[in-house]
Chains A and B, each alone.
Chain A
Amino acid sequence: MSTSAPVVETARQRPSVAGWGLWRFVTQNFYVRRLFKALVTVWVVSTIIFFLIRLLPGNPVEQYISRLIETQGMDYENARMQAAALFAIDLDAPLWVQYGEYLGNLLSGNLGVSITSPGTPVTAMIGRFLPWTLFSVGVGLILSFTLGILLGLMMAYRREGVLDHVLTILASIVSSVPNYLLGILLVVWLGVQWKVLPIAQMRGTMSPGVVPAFTFAFVYDALYHAFLPIFTYVLTTMGNWMLSMKGSTVGTLGEDFVTVARARGLNDWRITTAYVGRNAALPLFTQLTIAIGFVVGGSFLIETIFQYQGIGYVLGSAIAQRDYPVMQGVFLVITMSVILANLLADFLYGWLDPRIKVS
């Protein structure tokens, strides 16, 4: 029998002792570079927003003037004087001066003051309304992702069964209905025609007299008011998660490592979670971070339909009144949430899928 010395092979892609320092430097550099890119993106997008907003027809003063003329029957001169006195802003200053001021303020964390609600800083408005959006859409996203993944996994395991067929059809129908349409239908059917839900009472983010605190009463009230937005969000997005997860799971079930795991005698639970589920959910993770990014921006129509005072609702009224600083502020929040979500995806993906680190 051959007695030659064992050939010891070393694993590829493992840094040697000498290369370790360099490897660490590169990864650190990667994070720093990624962060820097994110900051540049924020700056570019906020610049674009600044100019795009000012390209919109009409400005806050003119919007206010035309409202005064319509509602109060004033003539143009009087209305203009009243508006100028009220707003005390100089929209005639050159654009680049306004832009410089805006950037300067932005760097010091000042987003300006609302034009239509004089004296209210934009940051305060965001601070007041953003949490409601994060709460309602966040809960909706978590519910829809979790339910979608679990149902998708189940459908893949019982594919061609009754459950699979029924859920596939339902998921396709529900995910093709736009959320605002479903929202309107819910208001009309449940609230107006069948009177199942007290739509008028459910408006807003909380009932009068309820104090925000970590009490059961508050959480219950918050969920009560957020129920319809969450329900709409879950129903319209869950189908997509289900179908993606089903497809991904069917593919993963055919992988050799699943057969080998069975041959190794692993129990079904371990195979379903750590072998099938985890690998099947990997591609959905990218979709999830995109969805997280659109938590803020995607709430616009639903919040308007259900009169839920979140950040989307604020944006709606700010656009109607051309409230530049508020619009800029909200758009900035939307931009940052998308960028942050992408950053999160980049940083977390390497942890979830070890293969990514190599490339």
Chain B
Amino acid sequence: MVQSTVGRPAGDRHPDKPPLSLQNVHVSYATRRGKVQAVRNVSVDLHAGESLALIGESGSGKSTLGLAIVRLLPETARIEPGVITYRRKDREVDVLKLSRSEMRAFRWSDCAMVFQAALNAFNPVLKVWAQALDTAQAHGWHDKPAIRRRLVELLEFVQLDPKRVIDAYPHELSGGMRQRVLLALALLLNPQVLILDEPTTALDIITQRTIIKLLRQLKQEDHFTMIFISHDLAIAAELADRVATMYAGRIVELGTSDDIFYRPRHPYTLGLIRAVPTVTGGFEQLFSIPGSPPDLVKLPSGCKFHPRCTFATERCQQEEPELELVGAEHSAACWNWREVQAELQRNPLHRGALNVLDGIGSEVEGS
């Protein structure tokens, strides 16, 4: 179970068989007001070693989708219909059909999740070592010296001093340190899939950089399949191979990082990019999407984005568009994606947004 490197040997990669594929996944919550449709009809394949970013406003269903994959949603939530297929080596399972104990084994050893609120992610009365031991033992790994060696190795990888951290209580660590400990803990059992829910939110900018560097390093090791959930487009652009824009519980645009950030075809994605402020750019060019995300109990008819969309036509009010191919690996769910393309030709993405992305690009090359 212990290996000298952080990742798994490259041997168990099956490029043609995606480790995780979601088909037609729906999540709804029962509330007093009615059924909240948090995630609707999401289908996406995650390829081995790929990292996918889910972007969108708060309440767009990103985190719900992440939690649905490890089935940690509140009891009022229902994940149906839908199929979540997980593959590792020759094993293929439907995550939603796993029994309680199978699900318990699946969590963390196959699919680990780094949470948004790492500040409170640790039991305050147990030391870091005890919590790592708990995790390992829950998955049938009882060799204490080996667990310790592995934890030390991982703590060094996340640039923490193992001697200091291993016997510390969570409150003795800063927020950034806790986030890194959680990341180290997530790697403890060599999961194939890593879900990172807002991994850098609530951290100061310097700590954010450290975490992003670590994640990029992990990505380069190429063994992990990662899902980033973020409302920070810069981080998505920096870390993701592919990006999915979510709106009102659906994926409305899916494509490579370059496609999404340089050639967006969905008005919502375009709006998100134009809303990104820059340090150097002025505020006068900043664009904001009018209105607010829809009520998930009473969704609008047709395209769910039409009340806020500047491209909306009559058709948008009646028929909901499906994802259709707009490029080689690029799809968008918009009746008027050609209008968006034309608009981009007339009015290229203004410098504010481009600066952010260019800045990221040059940093990636330069570092």
- Of all chain A residues, the one with the shortest Cβ separation from B166 is A11
Please tell me the number of chain A residues within 8 Å of chain B, measured between CB atoms: 34
Task: Looking at the assembled complex, report how far the CB atom of A270 sits from the nearest CB atom of chain B, in whole angstroms.
Answer: 6
* Known contacts A262-B72, A274-B134, A6 near B125 by CB under 8 Å: no
- Give the size of the chain B interface in residues (CB under 8 angstroms): 45
Residue in contact with A256 in the complex, picked from B105, B115, B125, B164, CB distance below 8 Å: B115
B175-204 CB contacts (< 8 Å) to partner A: 177, 182, 185
Binds A, one of B116-124, B261-269, B288-296: B116-124
A13–B172 touching, CB < 8 Å: yes
Which residues of A have CB within 8 Å of B125?
A: 278-279, 282, 352-354
Query: Chain A's nearest CB lies how many Å from the CB of B154?
Result: 13
The answer for the CA separation of A279 and B117 in the assembled complex, in Å, is 18
B166-178 near A? 1/0 per residue, CB < 8 Å? 0011011110010
* A267 lies within 8 A of B104 (CB): yes
Knowing A9-B161, A10-B164, A270-B134, the reply to whether A265 touches B123 (Cβ < 8 A) is no
A262 to B75, CA, bound (A): 14
- Binding stretch for chain A, among B21-29, B78-86, B106-114, B245-253: B106-114
Interface centre among B108, B182, B213, B217 (most CB of A within 10 A): B108
Q: Is the CB of A264 within 8 A of B107?
A: yes
Interface assignment of A30: CB less than 8 Å from any CB of chain B: no
What is the CA–CA distance of A263 and B125 in the complex, to the nearest angstrom? 19
A residues within 8 Å of B by Cβ? 1-2, 6-14, 255-257, 259-267, 270, 274-275, 278-279, 282, 352-355, 358
Pairs A–B under 8 Å by Cβ, sample size 25: A2-B367, A8-B161, A9-B161, A11-B161, A11-B165, A11-B168, A13-B172, A14-B168, A259-B115, A260-B182, A261-B123, A261-B134, A263-B72, A263-B112, A263-B113, A264-B112, A264-B185, A265-B108, A267-B138, A274-B134, A275-B123, A278-B125, A354-B125, A354-B171, A355-B169
**Bound CA span A275–B164, Å:** 23
Once A260-B121, A265-B104 are accepted as A-B contacts, the answer to whether A12 and B174 lie under 8 Å apart by CB is yes
Give CA–CA (A1, B168) in the complex, Å. Answer: 31
Cβ-defined partner of A264 (8 Å) among B124, B135, B367? B135
Which residues from B are CB-within-8-Å of A257?
Answer: 120-124
Distance (whole angstroms) from the CB of B286 to the closest CB of chain A: 31
Please report the C-alpha to C-alpha distance between residue A262 and residue B106 in the assembled complex, in whole angstroms: 11
* B120 cross-chain contacts in A, Cβ below 8 A: 255-257
By a CB distance below 8 angstroms, the chain A residues around B119 are: 256
